[in-house]
Amino acid sequence: MDSLIRVERPLSQLQLLLLAASFIGFMLHLWRARTKTMPPYPPGPPGHFLLGNVKDMPSAKAWITFANWSKEYDSPIVHANVLGQHIVVINSRKYANELFEKRSHIYSDRPTFPMVELMGWSYNSALLPYGTKWRRHRRLFHQVLKKDAATTYEPVEAKKIHELLYNLLSEPEAVLGHCRTATAAIIMATVYSHNVQSASDPLVQLAETAVAQASSNLLPQTTLVNVFPSLRFLPGWLPGVKFQRLARECRKLTEDMQRLPWDSVRRNMAEGTQRQCVLSDLLEGNTVHGRVKDSEEDLRAVATTCYAAGVDTTLSQISTFFLSMTLNPHIQQRARAEIDSVVGTSRLPTFADRPHLPYIEAIYREVMRWRPVLPLALPHRASEDDWVDGYLIPKGSYVMSNLWAMSHDESVYPEPNVFKPERFFNADGTLNDDDTPLAFGLGRRICVGRHMASSAVWLTIASVLATFTLTKAKDAFGNDIEPVDDCTDGAISQPIPYKCCLTPRSEEVRSLIETARSESF
């Protein structure tokens, strides 16, 4: 076993040469960078000799630091140099549109991080470099998740949201736990037609563990091998090289996360018992005139990416909704009045009601703006030198969208920290055209699952407001427990865990929820 290999084994000549080459190459790179005339990069903190801006890089909630840099240097684009790697942060929606939309041919690539491959995550479509394989995956996603096609899975989403209502009715004190189960259930049902009854479902546990390990080790600052790629050749038994062990553990989880649900769907299709889902639709559409169009590897990767990219992001958005309503009871009152006037009290909201519930739509948009789930999005890579307002963005730069800064831009969203759905209405009371949440990204890398995610979050919002009143939880003495109005750090940000109290609006609501749940089985 690898764990029993003796750590005193000496380094081979090849490994010593790799270490020496990495160090010499790095020092030469820094020397050349210091001796050349510095081009006009976007403004940012002055670098230190050799290290560049290593000491300036934030250790937590980087999106806030980067937004403050824009204020300090009076520039919507800021720059840092970390050990020779250029990092450019876009804090303005105007410039984000300019780069990621109008110049998408330059900014659609992704950086390549060694840990992505070591952990077995090179399958993930969201992390693929821009190229032929990415375009194949994008075509497959479009086939099943484009706006018209995504409506196919709305009945499954509605069924799982009705189950969420029943669980909230039965055990209202476990709100966040029920939300986690519901988001996993929605994704697993739509992608694999796998029925999740609890968070302890083996496939859910497997996927959550794999995603958690990967998300904490993928970004460049999380492990040294992403900065010095040649370190990947060092053996795992060497002291201090724990990334190899972590990668090996994650790779096994990732392989199982892809294989087990895939095998289940293929087996059910062969037996004629498989219900319609994303993967079955991909498999059935993969043969035309007897010819197989796409490899099983691509189909499996696309399906797994749906889960890996969808569960935690959707959970964050739904958790943000519950928090915002707990803190703003007056918004609930207006929302319920609209639902009662359009839907009535004798049925639950449906997707068909969406065009007729503008205030619920505004709440949905504000949930997505107020606490963006990916505050810094995933980094892009400049595929060639580019100039913006006289500043150079060098080829190979990591270019990051600060979605938090854009969605909290006071010139666009006054009082950005206040939850205010009214900001999405025109003066005449109609919804404005700010209808594509920044949380889904921009350009060619915009989230391919945004239509399905949008419908799931919207129906959850409408259904919960139609059936429950949300208030602050009480302590043993009857005092309000104030939720912490803050979010976690990391690539995917979620509200800090909080408590709230749910009360059914009426006995009629109880009956509606119980009936909807019984019809789901």
Pairing of strands 85-90, 398-401: parallel
Domain positions in the chain: 2-519
The per-residue pLDDT for 220 is: 59
pLDDT at 94: 95
For residue 203, give the nearest of 267, 257, 279, 163 by alpha carbon: 257
User: What is the per-residue pLDDT for 217?
Assistant: 66
Distance, C-alpha 226 to centroid of its chain? 21
Helix-strand-coil split of the chain, %, nearest 5: 55, 10, 35
What's the predicted TM-score (pTM) here? 0.89
Q: Is the dihedral of CA 290, 291, 296, 300 positive or negative?
A: negative
Predicted pLDDT at 221: 57
> Which ranges of the chain have pLDDT less than 50?
1-10, 35
Sorted by sequence, the CB contacts under 8 Å of residue 355 that are 6+ apart come out as none
Which pLDDT belongs to residue 89?
98
Question: What pLDDT score does 7 carry?
Answer: 36
Note the pLDDT of residue 150: 92
Cα separation, 4 vs 237, in Å, equals 9
Q: Would you tell me which CATH number, out of the four given (3.40.1350.10, 1.10.630.10, 3.40.50.300, 3.40.50.2300), belongs to the domain 2-519?
A: 1.10.630.10
